[in-house]
Copies of this chain bind each other. A is one copy, B any other.
Protein backbone atom coordinates (compact mmCIF):
# COMPACT_ATOMS: atom_id res chain seq x y z
CA UNK A 1 0.00 0.00 0.00
CA UNK A 2 1.65 3.21 -1.17
CA UNK A 3 2.48 5.34 1.81
CA UNK A 4 2.66 8.96 0.79
CA UNK A 5 5.06 11.52 2.13
CA UNK A 6 4.11 13.32 5.31
CA UNK A 7 4.92 16.85 4.24
CA UNK A 8 3.00 20.02 3.68
CA UNK A 9 4.41 20.08 0.18
CA UNK A 10 2.78 16.76 -0.60
CA UNK A 11 -0.48 17.86 0.98
CA UNK A 12 -0.56 21.08 -1.01
CA UNK A 13 -0.18 19.00 -4.13
CA UNK A 14 -3.30 17.08 -3.14
CA UNK A 15 -5.09 20.43 -3.10
CA UNK A 16 -3.60 21.92 -6.23
CA UNK A 17 -2.63 19.18 -8.66
CA UNK A 18 -5.08 16.77 -10.24
CA UNK A 19 -4.18 13.12 -10.54
CA UNK A 20 -2.31 12.10 -13.63
CA UNK A 21 -4.43 11.00 -16.61
CA UNK A 22 -3.14 7.44 -16.31
CA UNK A 23 -3.77 7.19 -12.58
CA UNK A 24 -6.32 4.78 -11.21
CA UNK A 25 -8.68 7.52 -10.11
CA UNK A 26 -8.54 9.19 -13.50
CA UNK A 27 -9.25 5.83 -15.12
CA UNK A 28 -12.28 5.31 -12.91
CA UNK A 29 -13.50 8.74 -13.81
CA UNK A 30 -13.00 8.17 -17.50
CA UNK A 31 -14.85 4.91 -17.37
CA UNK A 32 -17.76 6.53 -15.54
CA UNK A 33 -17.86 9.30 -18.12
CA UNK A 34 -17.70 6.98 -21.10
CA UNK A 35 -20.16 4.36 -20.03
CA UNK A 36 -21.52 4.24 -16.55
CA UNK A 37 -23.60 1.11 -17.08
CA UNK A 38 -20.50 -0.69 -18.28
CA UNK A 39 -18.50 0.64 -15.34
CA UNK A 40 -21.08 -0.63 -12.88
CA UNK A 41 -21.57 -3.99 -14.52
CA UNK A 42 -17.83 -4.46 -14.65
CA UNK A 43 -17.08 -3.44 -11.08
CA UNK A 44 -20.15 -4.24 -9.02
CA UNK A 45 -19.83 -7.89 -8.13
CA UNK A 46 -23.10 -9.76 -8.51
CA UNK A 47 -22.15 -12.92 -6.73
CA UNK A 48 -23.37 -13.27 -3.18
CA UNK A 49 -21.09 -11.85 -0.55
CA UNK A 50 -22.44 -11.95 2.97
CA UNK A 51 -22.74 -8.72 4.89
CA UNK A 52 -20.44 -10.21 7.50
CA UNK A 53 -17.73 -10.70 4.91
CA UNK A 54 -18.08 -7.13 3.71
CA UNK A 55 -17.97 -5.87 7.27
CA UNK A 56 -14.55 -7.50 7.65
CA UNK A 57 -13.22 -4.93 5.22
CA UNK A 58 -14.62 -2.06 7.26
CA UNK A 59 -13.81 -3.05 10.79
CA UNK A 60 -10.75 -1.11 11.81
CA UNK A 61 -11.72 1.74 14.15
CA UNK A 62 -8.25 3.33 14.02
CA UNK A 63 -7.60 6.37 11.88
CA UNK A 64 -4.68 5.33 9.68
CA UNK A 65 -1.51 7.01 10.85
CA UNK A 66 0.14 7.80 7.52
CA UNK A 67 -1.15 9.32 4.30
CA UNK A 68 -1.87 7.04 1.38
CA UNK A 69 -1.49 7.82 -2.31
CA UNK A 70 -4.73 8.75 -3.97
CA UNK A 71 -4.32 6.08 -6.59
CA UNK A 72 -3.68 3.26 -4.22
CA UNK A 73 -6.71 4.37 -2.26
CA UNK A 74 -8.74 4.39 -5.46
CA UNK A 75 -7.88 0.70 -5.88
CA UNK A 76 -9.18 0.05 -2.38
CA UNK A 77 -12.42 1.85 -3.12
CA UNK A 78 -12.94 -0.20 -6.27
CA UNK A 79 -12.20 -3.51 -4.62
CA UNK A 80 -13.89 -3.07 -1.31
CA UNK A 81 -16.60 -0.51 -1.85
CA UNK A 82 -17.70 -0.33 -5.46
CA UNK A 83 -17.52 -4.09 -5.82
CA UNK A 84 -19.97 -4.51 -2.98
CA UNK A 85 -22.30 -1.66 -3.75
CA UNK A 86 -25.80 -1.94 -5.13
CA UNK A 87 -26.16 -1.35 -8.83
CA UNK A 88 -29.03 1.10 -8.57
CA UNK A 89 -28.67 1.89 -12.28
CA UNK A 90 -29.60 -1.64 -13.22
CA UNK A 91 -32.99 -1.85 -15.00
CA UNK A 92 -33.75 -4.93 -12.93
CA UNK A 93 -33.21 -3.16 -9.61
CA UNK A 94 -36.88 -2.34 -9.09
CA UNK A 95 -37.20 -2.77 -5.35
CA UNK A 96 -36.66 0.75 -4.15
CA UNK A 97 -36.99 4.36 -5.18
CA UNK A 98 -33.36 4.75 -6.14
CA UNK A 99 -32.62 4.40 -9.83
CA UNK A 100 -30.40 5.34 -12.75
CA UNK A 101 -29.67 9.04 -13.14
CA UNK A 102 -29.22 11.06 -16.28
CA UNK A 103 -25.63 11.45 -17.40
CA UNK A 104 -25.36 15.18 -16.94
CA UNK A 105 -25.46 14.78 -13.17
CA UNK A 106 -21.96 13.28 -13.20
CA UNK A 107 -20.18 16.42 -14.45
CA UNK A 108 -22.58 18.61 -12.46
CA UNK A 109 -21.63 16.75 -9.29
CA UNK A 110 -18.06 17.68 -10.00
CA UNK A 111 -19.02 21.29 -10.57
CA UNK A 112 -20.93 21.29 -7.30
CA UNK A 113 -17.90 20.13 -5.35
CA UNK A 114 -15.66 22.42 -7.33
CA UNK A 115 -17.78 25.40 -6.32
CA UNK A 116 -18.29 24.12 -2.75
CA UNK A 117 -20.91 26.73 -1.87
CA UNK A 118 -22.73 26.78 1.44
CA UNK A 119 -26.39 27.68 1.06
CA UNK A 120 -26.91 28.66 4.66
CA UNK A 121 -26.04 32.25 3.78
CA UNK A 122 -25.53 34.45 0.76
CA UNK A 123 -21.94 35.24 1.71
CA UNK A 124 -21.01 31.67 0.87
CA UNK A 125 -23.45 31.03 -1.93
CA UNK A 126 -24.32 34.27 -3.74
CA UNK A 127 -26.17 33.24 -6.94
CA UNK A 128 -26.99 29.86 -5.43
CA UNK A 129 -29.37 31.49 -2.97
CA UNK A 130 -31.50 33.18 -5.67
CA UNK A 131 -31.29 29.93 -7.65
CA UNK A 132 -32.55 27.88 -4.73
CA UNK A 133 -35.32 30.38 -4.17
CA UNK A 134 -36.29 30.06 -7.83
CA UNK A 135 -36.33 26.29 -7.63
CA UNK A 136 -38.60 26.50 -4.59
CA UNK A 137 -40.72 28.97 -6.53
CA UNK A 138 -41.03 26.65 -9.51
CA UNK A 139 -42.05 23.71 -7.37
CA UNK A 140 -44.44 25.96 -5.44
CA UNK A 141 -45.91 27.11 -8.73
CA UNK A 142 -46.26 23.55 -9.95
CA UNK A 143 -48.35 22.73 -6.88
CA UNK A 144 -50.18 25.93 -6.05
CA UNK A 145 -50.16 27.86 -9.31
CA UNK A 146 -50.63 31.17 -7.54
CA UNK A 147 -50.82 34.39 -9.58
CA UNK A 148 -47.58 35.83 -10.96
CA UNK A 149 -47.82 38.74 -8.56
CA UNK A 150 -47.55 36.32 -5.64
CA UNK A 151 -44.17 35.15 -6.87
CA UNK A 152 -43.00 38.64 -7.74
CA UNK A 153 -43.69 39.59 -4.17
CA UNK A 154 -42.40 36.55 -2.33
CA UNK A 155 -39.84 34.67 -4.36
CA UNK A 156 -36.87 36.82 -3.33
CA UNK A 157 -38.37 38.43 -0.27
CA UNK A 158 -36.15 38.58 2.82
CA UNK A 159 -39.24 38.18 4.99
CA UNK A 160 -40.68 35.15 3.24
CA UNK A 161 -39.85 31.66 2.11
CA UNK A 162 -41.91 29.62 -0.31
CA UNK A 163 -40.36 26.50 1.11
CA UNK A 164 -37.31 24.85 2.60
CA UNK A 165 -34.78 22.91 0.59
CA UNK A 166 -33.38 20.05 2.63
CA UNK A 167 -31.57 16.74 2.54
CA UNK A 168 -34.69 14.63 2.06
CA UNK A 169 -38.33 13.90 2.67
CA UNK A 170 -37.88 13.11 6.35
CA UNK A 171 -36.43 16.52 7.12
CA UNK A 172 -39.10 18.05 4.87
CA UNK A 173 -41.87 16.36 6.84
CA UNK A 174 -40.33 17.38 10.15
CA UNK A 175 -39.97 20.95 8.90
CA UNK A 176 -43.58 21.12 7.75
CA UNK A 177 -44.93 19.79 11.04
CA UNK A 178 -42.56 22.04 12.98
CA UNK A 179 -43.98 25.05 11.14
CA UNK A 180 -47.54 23.79 11.71
CA UNK A 181 -46.89 23.24 15.41
CA UNK A 182 -45.33 26.65 15.91
CA UNK A 183 -48.17 28.31 14.06
CA UNK A 184 -50.98 26.52 15.87
CA UNK A 185 -49.42 27.08 19.29
CA UNK A 186 -48.06 30.52 18.43
CA UNK A 187 -47.81 33.66 20.49
CA UNK A 188 -50.98 35.19 21.92
CA UNK A 189 -51.67 37.67 24.70
CA UNK A 190 -50.01 36.29 27.81
CA UNK A 191 -48.14 33.56 25.99
CA UNK A 192 -44.84 33.83 24.15
CA UNK A 193 -45.58 30.95 21.78
CA UNK A 194 -44.35 27.38 21.70
CA UNK A 195 -41.08 28.25 19.93
CA UNK A 196 -40.01 30.27 22.96
CA UNK A 197 -41.98 28.79 25.83
CA UNK A 198 -41.90 25.13 24.90
CA UNK A 199 -44.57 22.51 24.41
CA UNK A 200 -45.73 21.89 28.00
CA UNK A 201 -46.36 25.61 28.52
CA UNK A 202 -48.14 25.75 25.17
CA UNK A 203 -50.51 22.94 26.12
CA UNK A 204 -51.33 24.83 29.30
CA UNK A 205 -51.76 28.16 27.52
CA UNK A 206 -54.05 26.61 24.92
CA UNK A 207 -55.70 24.31 27.44
CA UNK A 208 -55.23 21.07 25.55
CA UNK A 209 -54.45 17.57 26.76
CA UNK A 210 -52.60 16.47 23.69
CA UNK A 211 -51.83 17.46 20.17
CA UNK A 212 -52.07 14.86 17.44
CA UNK A 213 -51.17 14.19 13.84
CA UNK A 214 -53.44 12.01 11.72
CA UNK A 215 -52.54 9.86 8.74
CA UNK A 216 -53.26 6.41 7.43
CA UNK A 217 -51.28 3.38 8.51
CA UNK A 218 -49.32 3.80 5.29
CA UNK A 219 -47.89 7.05 6.59
CA UNK A 220 -44.13 7.13 6.19
CA UNK A 221 -42.07 6.28 9.25
CA UNK A 222 -40.69 9.81 9.16
CA UNK A 223 -44.02 11.00 10.56
CA UNK A 224 -43.41 8.90 13.61
CA UNK A 225 -39.89 10.35 13.85
CA UNK A 226 -41.39 13.82 13.49
CA UNK A 227 -43.88 13.58 16.33
CA UNK A 228 -41.18 12.04 18.50
CA UNK A 229 -38.59 14.71 17.75
CA UNK A 230 -41.08 17.59 17.96
CA UNK A 231 -42.10 16.49 21.46
CA UNK A 232 -45.65 15.52 20.55
CA UNK A 233 -45.04 11.85 21.16
CA UNK A 234 -45.51 8.84 18.93
CA UNK A 235 -48.71 7.83 20.69
CA UNK A 236 -50.29 10.96 19.26
CA UNK A 237 -49.69 9.84 15.70
CA UNK A 238 -53.20 8.73 14.89
CA UNK A 239 -52.51 6.18 12.16
CA UNK A 240 -55.88 4.95 10.97
CA UNK A 241 -56.31 1.49 9.44
CA UNK A 242 -56.56 1.55 5.67
CA UNK A 243 -57.36 -1.83 4.11
CA UNK A 244 -57.90 0.03 0.82
CA UNK A 245 -54.47 1.62 1.31
CA UNK A 246 -55.89 5.12 1.63
CA UNK A 247 -57.23 7.28 4.43
CA UNK A 248 -61.03 7.38 4.33
CA UNK A 249 -62.28 10.96 4.73
CA UNK A 250 -65.35 10.08 6.74
CA UNK A 251 -63.26 8.02 9.15
CA UNK A 252 -60.68 10.78 9.38
CA UNK A 253 -63.42 13.26 10.20
CA UNK A 254 -64.99 11.03 12.82
CA UNK A 255 -61.66 10.18 14.42
CA UNK A 256 -60.67 13.83 14.40
CA UNK A 257 -63.90 14.90 16.10
CA UNK A 258 -63.55 12.17 18.72
CA UNK A 259 -60.00 13.29 19.37
CA UNK A 260 -61.00 16.91 19.72
CA UNK A 261 -63.91 16.07 22.00
CA UNK A 262 -61.43 14.49 24.38
CA UNK A 263 -59.82 17.87 24.96
CA UNK A 264 -57.12 17.42 22.36
CA UNK A 265 -56.08 19.58 19.46
CA UNK A 266 -55.51 18.08 16.06
CA UNK A 267 -52.33 19.57 14.67
CA UNK A 268 -52.44 18.18 11.18
CA UNK A 269 -53.87 15.69 8.78
CA UNK A 270 -51.19 14.21 6.57
CA UNK A 271 -52.41 13.08 3.18
CA UNK A 272 -50.07 10.85 1.24
CA UNK A 273 -49.33 11.52 -2.39
CA UNK A 274 -47.95 8.14 -3.20
CA UNK A 275 -47.39 5.82 -0.26
CA UNK A 276 -43.94 4.34 0.01
CA UNK A 277 -45.29 0.83 0.12
CA UNK A 278 -47.94 0.74 -2.57
CA UNK A 279 -47.97 4.13 -4.29
CA UNK A 280 -51.56 4.85 -3.33
CA UNK A 281 -52.75 8.43 -3.14
CA UNK A 282 -55.06 9.54 -0.37
CA UNK A 283 -58.23 11.40 -1.46
CA UNK A 284 -56.52 14.74 -1.03
CA UNK A 285 -59.42 16.95 -2.00
CA UNK A 286 -61.76 15.34 0.50
CA UNK A 287 -59.07 15.35 3.18
CA UNK A 288 -58.62 19.07 2.60
CA UNK A 289 -62.32 19.43 3.40
CA UNK A 290 -61.90 17.37 6.54
CA UNK A 291 -58.91 19.43 7.66
CA UNK A 292 -60.92 22.57 7.05
CA UNK A 293 -63.83 21.26 9.06
CA UNK A 294 -61.57 20.17 11.90
CA UNK A 295 -59.64 23.44 11.71
CA UNK A 296 -56.23 21.86 11.40
CA UNK A 297 -53.19 22.03 9.14
CA UNK A 298 -53.20 19.93 5.99
CA UNK A 299 -49.86 18.49 4.94
CA UNK A 300 -49.33 16.32 1.88
CA UNK A 301 -46.39 13.97 1.84
CA UNK A 302 -45.78 13.72 -1.89
CA UNK A 303 -42.10 12.82 -1.54
CA UNK A 304 -42.59 10.15 -4.15
CA UNK A 305 -45.67 11.14 -6.11
CA UNK A 306 -45.24 14.91 -6.32
CA UNK A 307 -43.57 14.71 -9.70
CA UNK A 308 -46.84 13.34 -11.11
CA UNK A 309 -47.86 16.99 -11.28
CA UNK A 310 -45.70 17.33 -14.39
CA UNK A 311 -48.07 15.03 -16.25
CA UNK A 312 -51.21 16.52 -17.74
CA UNK A 313 -52.67 13.05 -18.02
CA UNK A 314 -52.09 11.98 -14.44
CA UNK A 315 -51.81 15.12 -12.34
CA UNK A 316 -55.49 14.87 -11.45
CA UNK A 317 -54.56 11.88 -9.30
CA UNK A 318 -53.14 14.39 -6.83
CA UNK A 319 -56.17 16.65 -7.00
CA UNK A 320 -56.52 18.65 -3.82
CA UNK A 321 -52.77 18.92 -3.24
CA UNK A 322 -53.10 22.61 -4.10
CA UNK A 323 -55.20 23.01 -0.97
CA UNK A 324 -52.44 21.67 1.30
CA UNK A 325 -50.78 24.08 3.70
CA UNK A 326 -47.51 22.31 3.06
CA UNK A 327 -46.21 19.69 0.67
CA UNK A 328 -43.13 17.45 0.73
CA UNK A 329 -41.46 16.55 -2.57
CA UNK A 330 -38.18 14.72 -3.08
CA UNK A 331 -36.40 15.64 -6.27
CA UNK A 332 -34.13 12.63 -5.76
CA UNK A 333 -37.05 10.34 -6.41
CA UNK A 334 -39.10 10.78 -9.58
CA UNK A 335 -37.17 13.86 -10.68
CA UNK A 336 -33.99 11.81 -11.14
CA UNK A 337 -31.73 14.08 -9.13
CA UNK A 338 -28.94 12.56 -7.01
CA UNK A 339 -29.71 11.70 -3.39
CA UNK A 340 -30.11 14.69 -1.09
CA UNK A 341 -32.73 16.96 -2.65
CA UNK A 342 -35.83 17.19 -0.50
CA UNK A 343 -38.22 20.12 -0.34
CA UNK A 344 -41.03 21.32 1.88
CA UNK A 345 -43.24 23.86 0.15
CA UNK A 346 -45.57 26.24 1.98
CA UNK A 347 -48.79 27.53 0.46
CA UNK A 348 -48.42 30.69 2.49
CA UNK A 349 -44.96 32.22 2.28
CA UNK A 350 -45.49 33.79 5.72
CA UNK A 351 -45.65 30.46 7.49
CA UNK A 352 -41.93 29.73 7.46
CA UNK A 353 -41.51 32.71 9.78
CA UNK A 354 -42.81 30.61 12.64
CA UNK A 355 -39.43 28.87 12.68
CA UNK A 356 -37.24 31.86 11.83
CA UNK A 357 -33.88 32.07 13.61
CA UNK A 358 -31.22 34.73 13.45
CA UNK A 359 -27.59 34.94 14.42
CA UNK A 360 -25.12 37.78 14.59
CA UNK A 361 -22.50 36.66 12.11
CA UNK A 362 -24.96 35.34 9.54
CA UNK A 363 -28.71 35.18 9.03
CA UNK A 364 -28.88 38.77 10.21
CA UNK A 365 -32.35 40.26 10.43
CA UNK A 366 -33.42 41.39 6.98
CA UNK A 367 -30.92 39.20 5.15
CA UNK A 368 -32.08 36.79 2.48
CA UNK A 369 -30.02 33.96 3.91
CA UNK A 370 -31.96 30.77 3.50
CA UNK A 371 -30.64 29.23 6.69
CA UNK A 372 -32.94 31.43 8.77
CA UNK A 373 -35.96 29.23 8.11
CA UNK A 374 -34.51 25.77 7.52
CA UNK A 375 -34.01 23.01 10.04
CA UNK A 376 -30.56 22.35 8.66
CA UNK A 377 -27.70 24.83 8.80
CA UNK A 378 -24.89 24.43 6.28
CA UNK A 379 -26.18 22.88 3.08
CA UNK A 380 -24.61 22.16 -0.28
CA UNK A 381 -25.81 23.50 -3.60
CA UNK A 382 -27.96 20.53 -4.53
CA UNK A 383 -30.63 22.95 -5.76
CA UNK A 384 -28.44 23.37 -8.84
CA UNK A 385 -29.14 19.77 -9.79
CA UNK A 386 -32.87 20.36 -9.53
CA UNK A 387 -32.57 23.59 -11.47
CA UNK A 388 -30.63 21.90 -14.25
CA UNK A 389 -33.05 18.97 -14.37
CA UNK A 390 -36.08 21.24 -14.58
CA UNK A 391 -34.51 22.92 -17.59
CA UNK A 392 -33.03 19.92 -19.33
CA UNK A 393 -36.18 17.81 -19.02
CA UNK A 394 -38.72 20.59 -18.97
CA UNK A 395 -42.27 19.89 -17.92
CA UNK A 396 -42.92 17.89 -21.06
CA UNK A 397 -39.85 15.75 -20.60
CA UNK A 398 -40.82 14.89 -17.05
CA UNK A 399 -44.34 14.22 -18.27
CA UNK A 400 -43.07 11.58 -20.66
CA UNK A 401 -41.03 9.93 -17.94
CA UNK A 402 -43.90 9.94 -15.45
CA UNK A 403 -46.40 8.66 -18.00
CA UNK A 404 -44.21 5.80 -19.10
CA UNK A 405 -43.54 4.76 -15.50
CA UNK A 406 -47.23 4.65 -14.67
CA UNK A 407 -48.02 2.80 -17.86
CA UNK A 408 -45.21 0.35 -17.30
CA UNK A 409 -46.57 -0.39 -13.84
CA UNK A 410 -49.96 -1.12 -15.38
CA UNK A 411 -48.37 -3.47 -17.89
CA UNK A 412 -46.52 -5.27 -15.14
CA UNK A 413 -49.72 -5.54 -13.13
CA UNK A 414 -51.37 -7.17 -16.14
CA UNK A 415 -48.51 -9.63 -16.49
CA UNK A 416 -48.88 -10.56 -12.83
CA UNK A 417 -52.65 -10.89 -13.01
CA UNK A 418 -52.45 -13.11 -16.06
CA UNK A 419 -49.92 -15.45 -14.48
CA UNK A 420 -51.70 -18.25 -12.61
CA UNK A 421 -49.11 -18.49 -9.83
CA UNK A 422 -48.90 -14.81 -9.00
CA UNK A 423 -51.38 -12.69 -7.15
CA UNK A 424 -51.58 -8.93 -7.59
CA UNK A 425 -52.05 -7.55 -4.10
CA UNK A 426 -52.35 -3.83 -4.75
CA UNK A 427 -52.76 -2.54 -8.27
CA UNK A 428 -50.71 0.46 -9.23
CA UNK A 429 -52.07 3.99 -8.87
CA UNK A 430 -48.68 5.52 -9.61
CA UNK A 431 -45.67 3.42 -10.50
CA UNK A 432 -45.63 1.14 -7.45
CA UNK A 433 -47.35 -2.14 -6.99
CA UNK A 434 -47.29 -5.14 -4.67
CA UNK A 435 -47.88 -8.78 -5.46
CA UNK A 436 -46.88 -12.19 -4.30
CA UNK A 437 -46.07 -15.58 -5.65
CA UNK A 438 -48.71 -18.09 -4.66
CA UNK A 439 -49.58 -21.39 -6.33
CA UNK A 440 -52.76 -21.23 -8.38
CA UNK A 441 -54.43 -23.92 -6.31
CA UNK A 442 -53.69 -22.08 -3.09
CA UNK A 443 -55.14 -18.85 -4.45
CA UNK A 444 -58.28 -20.75 -5.25
CA UNK A 445 -58.41 -22.32 -1.82
CA UNK A 446 -57.89 -18.99 -0.09
CA UNK A 447 -61.17 -17.74 -1.48
CA UNK A 448 -63.11 -20.59 0.00
CA UNK A 449 -61.68 -21.43 3.39
CA UNK A 450 -62.58 -20.10 6.80
CA UNK A 451 -60.69 -17.27 8.50
CA UNK A 452 -58.47 -19.49 10.60
CA UNK A 453 -57.41 -21.68 7.68
CA UNK A 454 -56.88 -18.65 5.49
CA UNK A 455 -54.58 -17.09 8.03
CA UNK A 456 -52.60 -20.27 8.39
CA UNK A 457 -52.29 -20.58 4.63
CA UNK A 458 -51.25 -16.98 4.26
CA UNK A 459 -48.51 -17.48 6.80
CA UNK A 460 -47.12 -20.28 4.69
CA UNK A 461 -47.25 -18.12 1.61
CA UNK A 462 -45.49 -15.36 3.58
CA UNK A 463 -42.59 -17.70 4.20
CA UNK A 464 -42.41 -18.58 0.54
CA UNK A 465 -42.39 -14.92 -0.47
CA UNK A 466 -39.63 -14.06 1.98
CA UNK A 467 -37.54 -16.95 0.74
CA UNK A 468 -37.95 -16.06 -2.92
CA UNK A 469 -37.24 -12.39 -2.30
CA UNK A 470 -34.03 -13.19 -0.44
CA UNK A 471 -32.85 -15.75 -2.97
CA UNK A 472 -33.50 -13.43 -5.86
CA UNK A 473 -31.60 -10.62 -4.15
CA UNK A 474 -28.71 -12.93 -3.41
CA UNK A 475 -28.58 -14.24 -6.96
CA UNK A 476 -27.79 -10.65 -7.87
CA UNK A 477 -29.50 -10.39 -11.26
CA UNK A 478 -32.46 -8.41 -10.00
CA UNK A 479 -33.91 -6.91 -6.88
CA UNK A 480 -37.49 -6.59 -5.72
CA UNK A 481 -38.16 -5.49 -2.15
CA UNK A 482 -40.75 -6.85 0.24
CA UNK A 483 -43.03 -5.48 2.90
CA UNK A 484 -45.95 -6.52 5.05
CA UNK A 485 -49.35 -4.95 4.74
CA UNK A 486 -53.07 -5.48 5.18
CA UNK A 487 -54.43 -6.06 1.70
CA UNK A 488 -57.93 -5.47 0.41
CA UNK A 489 -58.53 -9.24 0.10
CA UNK A 490 -57.16 -10.03 3.56
CA UNK A 491 -58.13 -7.03 5.65
CA UNK A 492 -57.59 -8.56 9.06
CA UNK A 493 -54.17 -9.96 8.45
CA UNK A 494 -50.85 -8.54 7.39
CA UNK A 495 -49.33 -10.47 4.55
CA UNK A 496 -45.86 -10.38 3.07
CA UNK A 497 -45.66 -9.10 -0.48
CA UNK A 498 -43.14 -8.24 -3.15
CA UNK A 499 -42.90 -4.49 -3.58
CA UNK A 500 -41.95 -3.01 -6.91
CA UNK A 501 -41.08 0.57 -7.82
CA UNK A 502 -40.94 1.22 -11.55
CA UNK A 503 -38.74 4.27 -11.39
CA UNK A 504 -35.95 3.41 -13.76
CA UNK A 505 -36.78 4.59 -17.29
CA UNK A 506 -34.44 1.93 -18.64
CA UNK A 507 -36.48 -0.98 -17.30
CA UNK A 508 -38.13 -2.80 -20.21
CA UNK A 509 -41.08 -5.16 -20.41
CA UNK A 510 -38.59 -7.94 -21.05
CA UNK A 511 -36.82 -7.12 -17.80
CA UNK A 512 -40.12 -7.42 -15.97
CA UNK A 513 -40.97 -10.71 -17.62
CA UNK A 514 -37.57 -12.07 -16.67
CA UNK A 515 -38.00 -11.00 -13.07
CA UNK A 516 -41.32 -12.82 -12.84
CA UNK A 517 -39.89 -15.90 -14.50
CA UNK A 518 -36.97 -15.97 -12.07
CA UNK A 519 -39.28 -15.63 -9.08
CA UNK A 520 -41.48 -18.41 -10.39
CA UNK A 521 -38.51 -20.68 -10.86
CA UNK A 522 -37.09 -19.89 -7.44
CA UNK A 523 -40.46 -20.44 -5.81
CA UNK A 524 -41.00 -23.81 -7.42
CA UNK A 525 -37.62 -24.99 -6.21
CA UNK A 526 -38.46 -24.40 -2.57
CA UNK A 527 -39.80 -27.02 -0.24
CA UNK A 528 -42.48 -24.51 0.81
CA UNK A 529 -43.94 -24.56 -2.69
CA UNK A 530 -43.95 -28.31 -2.72
CA UNK A 531 -45.67 -28.44 0.63
CA UNK A 532 -48.29 -25.98 -0.52
CA UNK A 533 -49.21 -27.70 -3.76
CA UNK A 534 -48.44 -31.35 -3.07
CA UNK A 535 -50.94 -31.78 -0.31
CA UNK A 536 -54.17 -33.54 -1.19
CA UNK A 537 -56.09 -30.43 -0.47
CA UNK A 538 -54.66 -27.15 0.73
CA UNK A 539 -57.59 -26.88 3.09
CA UNK A 540 -56.78 -29.97 5.07
CA UNK A 541 -53.06 -29.28 4.97
CA UNK A 542 -53.57 -25.77 6.18
CA UNK A 543 -55.86 -26.77 8.96
CA UNK A 544 -53.32 -29.36 10.03
CA UNK A 545 -50.54 -26.66 10.06
Contacts and interface: CB of A to CB of B under 8 A. Distances in A.
A396 B67 contact: yes
A377 B170 contact: yes
Given A118-B96, A391-B73, A332 B378 contact: yes
Contacts of A211: 198
B8 A404 contact: yes
A363 interface: yes
B117 A98 contact: yes
Given A84-B127, A376-B171, A14 B103 contact: yes
A302 to B, nearest CB: 15
A55 to B, nearest CB: 5
Contacts of A395: 63-66
A306 to B, nearest CB: 12
Interface string A245-277: 000000000000000000000000000000011
A522 interface: no
B63 A390 contact: yes
A233 B81 contact: no
A55 B178 CA distance: 29
Interface stretch (A135-143, A279-287, A441-449): A135-143
A228 interface: yes
Contacts of A106: 18, 110, 113-114
A242 interface: no
B128 A81 contact: yes
Nearest to A106: B110
A451 to B, nearest CB: 22
Interface stretch (A315-323, A422-430, A477-485, A512-520): A477-485
A93 to B, nearest CB: 9
A89 interface: yes
A80 to B, nearest CB: 7
Interface in A83-118: 83-86, 88-89, 95-118
A540 B225 CA distance: 62
A367 to B, nearest CB: 10
B12 A231 contact: no
Interface stretch (A199-207, A292-300, A453-461, A528-536): A199-207
B116 A392 contact: no
A509 interface: no
A159 interface: no
Contacts of A36: 18, 114
Interface string A28-43: 1100111111011000
B82 A115 contact: yes
A127 B58 contact: yes
Contact of A29 (B83, B107, B362, B506): B107
Contacts of A115: 40, 82, 85, 88
Contact of A198 (B66, B231, B390): B231
A305 interface: no
A400 B107 contact: no
A233 to B, nearest CB: 3
Nearest to A310: B63
Q: Taking each of A66, A86, A484, which has the highest tally of chain B beta carbons within 10 Å of its own beta carbon?
A: A86
A7 interface: yes
Nearest to A277: B361
A390 B64 contact: yes
A342 B68 CA distance: 23
Contact of A233 (B19, B100, B196): B196
A340 interface: yes
A350 B396 CA distance: 50
Nearest to A368: B51
A418 interface: no
A155 B198 CA distance: 36
Nearest to A173: B377
A505 B39 CA distance: 34
**Nearest 10 pairs of A and B residues by beta carbon:** A231-B231, A198-B233, A170-B377, A361-B483, A84-B127, A199-B231, A339-B380, A61-B137, A58-B134, A221-B359
10 contacts: A63-B310, A64-B390, A73-B391, A86-B123, A96-B123, A98-B118, A99-B116, A195-B228, A200-B200, A338-B380
